[in-house]
Amino acid sequence: MKSILKLIRRFAGILLVSFILIMILNIIAVVKIASDQATGRSPWTTAVETAENLQKTENGYTLSEDMALELRKEEIWAVYIDDDTHKVVWHTENLPDDIPLEYSISEIAFLTRGYVKDYPTFTGGAEDGLVVLGYPKDRYWKEMYPSWDYYFIKNLPRTIFIVLVCNIALIFFIYMVTNMGILKTVKPIAEGIQALPMGDRVHVKEKGLLSELASKINRTSEILQSQKHQLKKKDTARANWIAGVSHDIRTPLSMVMGYASQLEQNCRLTEGERNKVAVILKQSEKMKKLISDLNLASKLEYNMQPVKTSRENVVALVRQVVVDFINMDIENRYSIEWVTEDTVTGCIANVDRELLKRAVCNLIQNCMNHNKNGCTIYVTVKKEKGECAICVEDDGVGVSDEQIEQLNHTPHYMVCDENTTTQRHGLGLLIVRQIMDSHGGETVIGHSVHGGFCVEMLLPSETVSNDFC
């Protein structure tokens, strides 16, 4: 996009100018720091003090012990050159072998401002000669031919200060001038981008450097609003259709169930006919439950089902559902085992009591529906890591790994606009998942340790004592 390229070029130019100015400021700072650098005592001062502490005796020259100790500690060697002979008449014990012991006037002039055999040297005047100190080769770097204008040195602090202030002001001016326009253009763009995910209608003025980007944002907002309107119409139509069909089916279904119930009790019918009527009645009950599930799933999907939460003991609530199923199993084909540990007597969570009971009922009924020859159902409630875990599993036929993968990751045909011709599973598990989602929980489907099918519901719990009841 052209506007983006313009923006990149402008910021690149700002970066280049700022870099040059910062480099200039850094050079000035380095020069200033180098000129003020002073590590300990000046070597010139040390040379003068050495000359003052060098005393002439009957046996020659002697340096005071304190001064000699300081020189040794700093690894400094020293010589004393006689004024008349230009020869070294005294030196320290650590004098390097390559240091000459006699100097011409030109050599003395050279060592006074520079080096002897690459050793930086500093001099101090004595009464009858010159004291020369030689430092380690990597200790100092000496300018041999310094020459500075007097007024330049005199005005240097003020000059540096003025240049520094001017540079800062220049950088600030360049930054403000170049970026105020950009910021003024970017701000509505950023606000528009932030508003897009919220679903609000967005309109950004299409002018300035980013006018092309503003146009794209406005177009995107129009497309999103159109899609939102169409989706809302589609969802409303689907919900109304489900509610209407469910309502229209209830009346004839109630009549079918009423007449079938009367026929089942009619003594004039043969045993075979009464069995057929019983099948009609049983299938009608399934249809009635299916309609109820369809309505509930539709309401949960479109947030039409109110969720009235309260603090409930999940252990007691699930145990009540289990007891109700045990009492209804007249044929004893489906034994239900309560395998919750005795120490777990209370697990508190904010839940909708009826919806949670419906979820547990769906899971137990699901075990029965898929194991026609009977099975044992195991129900467990555990507290783990701040959650109430409700596990319903069986030792029945179970499912394959591929089916587990589909159940965990493939959306139900009712809430998926793609591949609607393939019915992946019934409404029971969908309702369980929807109920968990409405409570901020999670549904995990897998294999049971008993060889069958397992569904675990995880609910956020509150910390309470185990003796809650």
Q: What is the DSSP string of 255-324?
A: HHHHHHHHHHT-TTS-HHHHHHHHHHHHHHHHHHHHHHHHHHHHHHHTT-S----EEEEHHHHHHHHHHH
Asked whether 133 and 43 are in contact (CB, 8 A), the reply is yes
pLDDT at 467: 44
d(CA 286, CA 294): 12
Q: What is the pLDDT of residue 246?
A: 64
Per-residue confidence in pLDDT tens, the chain, 469 aa: 455 556 656 766 776 777 788 878 878 887 776 666 545 568 889 999 999 999 888 888 899 999 999 999 989 999 999 998 999 999 999 999 999 999 999 888 888 888 999 999 999 988 889 999 999 988 888 877 777 788 888 888 898 889 878 877 887 777 677 666 666 777 777 778 778 877 778 888 887 667 787 888 888 888 888 887 787 777 666 666 666 666 567 667 777 777 677 777 777 788 888 788 888 877 777 777 777 766 666 666 666 566 788 898 999 999 999 998 888 765 678 899 999 988 888 888 988 888 898 899 889 988 988 888 889 999 999 988 888 999 999 999 888 888 888 888 766 555 544 544 444 456 778 888 888 888 889 999 999 999 899 999 999 987 544 444 3
- pLDDT at position 466 is 44
Cβ–Cβ < 8 Å for 400, 453: no
pLDDT of residue 8: 58
What pLDDT score does 293 carry? 67
Alpha-carbon distances, residue 237 vs 240, 243, 248, 321 (angstroms): 5, 10, 16, 35
The two tokens of residue 124 are: 């101090």
Rg of the chain taking only CA atoms, in angstroms: 48
Can you tell me the distance from the alpha carbon of 183 to that of 176, in angstroms, rounded to the nearest whole number?
Answer: 10
Residues 296 and 43: their CA atoms lie apart, in Å, by: 94
Whether 4 contacts 213, CB under 8 Å: yes
Report whether 455 contacts 432 (CB < 8 A).
yes
- With beta carbons less than 8 A apart as the criterion, state whether 389 and 457 touch: yes
Calculate ∠ Cα 170-175-178, nearest 5°: 120
235: left (phi over 0), alpha (psi -120 to 50) or beta: alpha
Nearest to 429 by CA among 409, 448, 459, 449: 409
User: Which DSSP helix (H) or strand (E) runs through 48?
Assistant: helix 43-52
The pLDDT of residue 365: 87
* Residue 54 CB-half CA count within 13 A: 28
Give the Å distances, CA to CA, from 245 to 158, 252, 253, 381. 91, 12, 12, 38
434: its two tokens: 């929807």
Q: What helix, strand, coil percent values describe the chain, rounded to 5?
A: 55, 15, 30
Q: Which two tokens stand for residue 54?
A: 């060098």
Distance (Å, rounded) from C-alpha 112 to C-alpha 322?
A: 105
Q: Which two tokens stand for residue 222?
A: 């129009």
* pLDDT value of residue 468: 40
| Kind plus residue range of the DSSP H or E element containing 389 | strand 387-394
Q: Which residues have C-beta within 8 Å of that of residue 369, sequence separation ≥ 6?
A: 426, 428
Q: Please choose, from the candidates 469, 441, 443, the residue with its C-alpha nearest in 3D space to the C-alpha of residue 307.
A: 441
Task: Name the burial class of residue 334, with classes exposed (0-12), middle (13-18) and buried (19+) by CB atoms within 10 angstroms of its CB.
Answer: buried
Largest Cα separation within the chain, whole Å, is 156
